[in-house]
Amino acid sequence: MALVAVGVSGGISAYKAVEVVRLLQKAGHEVAVVMTRAATRFVGPLTFEAITRRRVITSQWTPGANADIEHIALATDAALFLVAPATANTIARLAHGLAGDFLTSLALATRAPVLVAPAMNTHMYDHPATQANLDLLRSRGVHFVEPGEGYLACGWVGKGRLAEPEAIAAAALRLLSPVRDLAGRRVVVTAGPTFEDLDPVRYLGNRSSGRMGLSVAADAAARGADVTVVLGPTSLEPAAGLRVVRVRSAREMHTAVVGLRDGADAIVMAAAVADYTPAGGAAGGKVKKQDGPLTVTLERTVDILADLGRWRAGRAAPVLVGFAAETSDVLAYAARKREAKQVDLIVANDVSQPGAGFEVDTNIASFVTAAGVQSFPLEAKTALAARIVDFIAGRLSAGAPRTPAQGDQA
């Protein structure tokens, strides 16, 4: 049994936090509720007080609240700090370290893992300011329960609805007793685009953000793996605790992966690697414009995944996972890619569908393995990442040999 601090901020879905608290209690945990002033306009503190049988903290200015330096005591005692719902304003304050109320002071004072369940109007969620704040928190190791899509209380339809209480409680319980099924395993994940330089100022790139690969890396690390991310040029910040090797071109990515493949238990090629690069490399000086059209000759890059597949043939490890982004005949192309590249799993998705592919944080994927196809509904990339890591953990526990990790006893 652990003590969970639940921070409730002022959104219409604050009432759902009541059910989250009950579910945490049902799982045997004790809950202390902290509310922002705005939250108390949506749900009465008395409701939480009655079900938690603890004083609900709504302000640091309440007489007596400082006698035991309450936020420090709760900060030390809590095994998890869950913020549900987290409004755009609360997320911004958490991201920037503001500490103007009890909830945000607690966030700064605690060393416990922090889990945030955002809820807001869909345009507020999509706003670059909110997205940048979410990225900032993610890069500091804050965990999230992605909001759902659908009809919002404000009357709009879109992403921003607080995740269901069951999903929030399940995520909290996972953090309270983390699965460490990849402890001692080494995982390499590539993520992001590659840029192929044409000259000192221009390049050929693609729209990959790196979000899918970074989610896989974060999930594997949370489950105890020693994770190295080979990261192409992207503005996303990798989660805390990952080893990061930054690369630019397909060639650099290939060199980095070859350097890491020995001793890896699994390699996930989530990067969108360029298939072509300017023949002969980038021009030394800036290419000047001419009157007529410009012809650039491109040559093939090394297919890193296929190269790994050839190298792995005859070996028991690592588990190899690739992606296939398609716009038609998704499963047929993916099955062909899996065989041609000799990999264990191809995560296939139709990038022409809304909610799938680049620059969004959801995906609609199918797993293509030697055993067949398994398709999943639209879901957060973090949820798909967990499935991919489940697949890897399953393969490893089914017999891929464990390679000794640094610091392991011989």
Select 41 or 300, whichever has its Cβ closest to ligand CTP. Answer: 300
At 332, phi and psi to the nearest 5? -65, -45
Burial class (CB in 10 A: 0-12, 13-18, 19+), 74: buried
CB of 335 to ligand CTP, least distance (A): 12
Instruction: Tell me which of 65, 154, 245, 331 is the catalytic residue.
Output: 154
Query: Is 154 annotated as catalytic?
Result: yes
CA distances from 93 to 59, 130, 160 (A): 16, 11, 18
Select 244 or 405, whichever has its Cβ closest to ligand CTP. Answer: 244
Q: Which residues bind ligand CTP (CB under 6 A)?
A: 250, 269, 271, 273, 275, 301, 303-305, 322-325, 337
Select 175 or 330, whichever has its Cβ closest to ligand CTP. Answer: 330
* Measured distance CA(277)–CA(197) in Å, rounded: 8
How many residues can be counted in the chain? 410
CB of 298 to ligand CTP, least distance (A): 12
CA distances from 7 to 42, 75, 388 (A): 14, 12, 31
Provide the 10 A C-beta neighbour count for residue 386: 21
CB of 304 to ligand CTP, least distance (A): 3
The pair of three-digit structure tokens given for residue 395, joined into one six-digit string:
């393969």
Partners of 295 in beta bridges: none
Select 185 or 251, whichever has its Cβ closest to ligand CTP. Answer: 251
Rounded to 5°, angle at Cα 336 from 182 and 219: 20
CB of 368 to ligand CTP, least distance (A): 12
CB of 305 to ligand CTP, least distance (A): 3
Select 169 or 257, whichever has its Cβ closest to ligand CTP. Answer: 257
Strand 372-375 relative to strand 365-369, pairing: antiparallel
* Measured distance CA(393)–CA(182) in Å, rounded: 7
Amino acid identity of residue 115, one-letter, is: L
CB of 257 to ligand CTP, least distance (A): 8
Select 154 or 306, whichever has its Cβ closest to ligand CTP. Answer: 306
CB of 199 to ligand CTP, least distance (A): 22
Provide the 10 A C-beta neighbour count for residue 179: 14
Select 2 or 324, whichever has its Cβ closest to ligand CTP. Answer: 324
Catalytic machinery residues: 154
